[in-house]
Structure 1
Amino acid sequence: MGSAEGRIRRRTSADDSRRPSAGSPSASERPGVERHRPDRHNRSVIAWLAPQQPFPPLDAALAEPNGLLAAGGGLSPERVVDAYRRGIFPWYSEGQPVLWWSPDPRMVLFTAEFRVRRSLAKRVRQHRYEIRFDTAFERVIRACAGPRQGQDGTWITEAMIGTYVELHRRGVAHSVEAWREGELAGGLYGIALGRVFFGESMFAREPDASKVALVHLVERLRRDGVPLVDCQQETSHLAGFGARPIPRRAFAALLAQLIHSDAPPAPWIAGRWTAPETDIDRDTETAPAP
């Protein structure tokens, strides 16, 4: 889910923002690229991937910029899914090659540790928004990619939109939407694999709309036995919800357990979900953070 709203790597016009462009080096600042394999003795060199070439091991990622692992390889749906399964995600700007990242530490949210501040809990209990799943995926991702005051460009390129829309068609990428009076007020999208949700980006056209969507998403994931939300980058905003950094190796081990195990994948509810009652409705003392 990177930014003031914290990543889920996001964007918004009201209460979210996208992954900071400073985290991705400009064309003139990018580390060197090795077209075959990373040079273990030159930690400023990364692998350049051919279309069918596998990713290098995670420990080949650079320390600075933190987690930059490889470039190239295309952005096919199959490549993207393989990346997430390994703890890797794409993040690049228009005009750059596809850049692949696996930062250390990794920011994660264990759904059992999710916390909501009292002011947001009050907003959730007002039932101001109708929460829907997967009814407007492309609208959500394009809203996340929209222009934002004070920032040039977007990391959510047209190529990335096309890939994630196709992943949505295949039942892998999902949107959570907050609607009010028939208008899309905010939301988020991400990838669901096994029993992990990989948060990607958020947007809001009304204050707290995307946060309310996040509360309902985590409630749904917790009820469906999904223990982990990948937030990718560390921010104080996400820490306020209970997210915390863990070592990259620990994150990879969790993925092996939650994605590659024989456990059935969590169900995903498409369509409208109004959830007449959440844990916040029932228990205002334990859900909100102090």
Structure 2
Amino acid sequence: MYYMSKDLFFPPVSEADEEGILAIGGDLSPERLQLAYKSGIFPWFNEGEPIIWWSPDPRMVLFLDELIVSKSMRNILNRNQFKVTVNKNFKDVISNCQKIKRDGQNGTWISNEMIDAYCKLNEMGIAKSVEVWQDEVLVGGLYGIDLDHVFCGESMFSKVSNASKVAFIALVEYLKRANYKLLDCQVYNSHLESLGCREIDREEFMEILLKTSV
């Protein structure tokens, strides 16, 4: 395991341990975060811990044409009960992702330091959000890192049923129109699998990431 210095550097992702941990330490500067995502690495750690940098194998992704939209979900979308915007209220989205309670989790990995760091990336046009509104109230959304042709999803939230699914589907449709190759979802969970995401080898993920990076 690599212990980060002040130098702007990450070891090859092949050096990650079995859990996917590659390095510890460093900072959340815009430059380091950009280098991390472009290198197939992301930060994930609890409040009060040193920064932990991950590159898991396998990697959970969505090939955009494999999106699964259930019949019931299509009916919800056709009712137009939600309004969707892109990158209109990033800070509120990431703040809601921090506050939302999740089954099986105590607390959140989205610290105030993380919020400040990703808001800086948003100001630079690198971090982006999708917002879902109902009666002019923000009820769901997600955010992630835009690498041009690969979008790295970070977190999503929902205050009413299906709002996060609406955000996810809207993001995929947006990425398809812009000819993106992949939506990176990082690690497995059953909710993502139900939407068509699947695990691929890290090596395959890196080939796609590096081939489409600019």
Return the TM-score normalized by structure 1.
Answer: 0.72
Q: 2:9 aligns with which of 29, 51, 54?
A: 54
Residues 30-77 of structure 1 deviation map (CA, whole Å, 9 limit, x = unaligned) = xxxxxxxxxxxxxxxx111012141111111110xx100100111101
Residues 110-145 of structure 1 deviation map (CA, whole Å, 9 limit, x = unaligned) = 111111111111111111111011111000000000
Give the Cα–Cα distance (whole angstroms) in 1 for the partners of residues 73 and 181 of structure 2. Answer: 22
CA shift for structure 1 position 147: 4.9
Task: Tell me the residue number matched to 1:69.
Answer: 22
Q: 1:164 aligns with which of 95, 108, 118?
A: 118
**Going by fraction, where is helix more abundant, 1 or 2?**
2
Give the Cα–Cα distance (whole angstroms) in 2 for the partners of residues 233 and 257 of structure 1. Answer: 21
Identity %: 45
Contact 1:147–1:153 (CA under 8 A) maintained in structure 2: no
Q: Highest CA radius of gyration, 1 or 2?
A: 1
Give the Cα–Cα distance (whole angstroms) in 1 for the partners of residues 164 and 60 of structure 2. Answer: 19
Residues 142-161 of structure 1 deviation map (CA, whole Å, 9 limit, x = unaligned) = 00000526632210011110
Task: Tell me the residue number matched to 2:137.
Answer: 183
Asked whether 1:240 is paired with 2:198, we answer no
Structure 1 residues without counterparts, runs of 5 or longer: 1-45, 261-290
Give the Cα–Cα distance (whole angstroms) in 1 for the partners of residues 81 and 8 of structure 2. Answer: 48
Q: 2:98 aligns with which of 124, 136, 145?
A: 145
SS at 2:93 equivalent: helix
RMSD of the TM alignment (CA)?
A: 1.2
Asked whether 1:218 is paired with 2:172, we answer yes
Give the Cα–Cα distance (whole angstroms) in 1 for the partners of residues 13 and 87 of structure 2. Answer: 32
The number of residues matched between the two structures is: 213
Give the Cα–Cα distance (whole angstroms) in 1 for the partners of residues 69 and 6 of structure 2. Answer: 43
Asked whether 1:87 is paired with 2:40, we answer yes
CA shift for structure 1 position 227: 1.9
Return the TM-score normalized by structure 2.
Answer: 0.96
Contact 2:8–2:32 (CA under 8 A) maintained in structure 1: no
Residues 228-267 of structure 1 deviation map (CA, whole Å, 9 limit, x = unaligned) = 000000122212111111111111111111114xxxxxxx
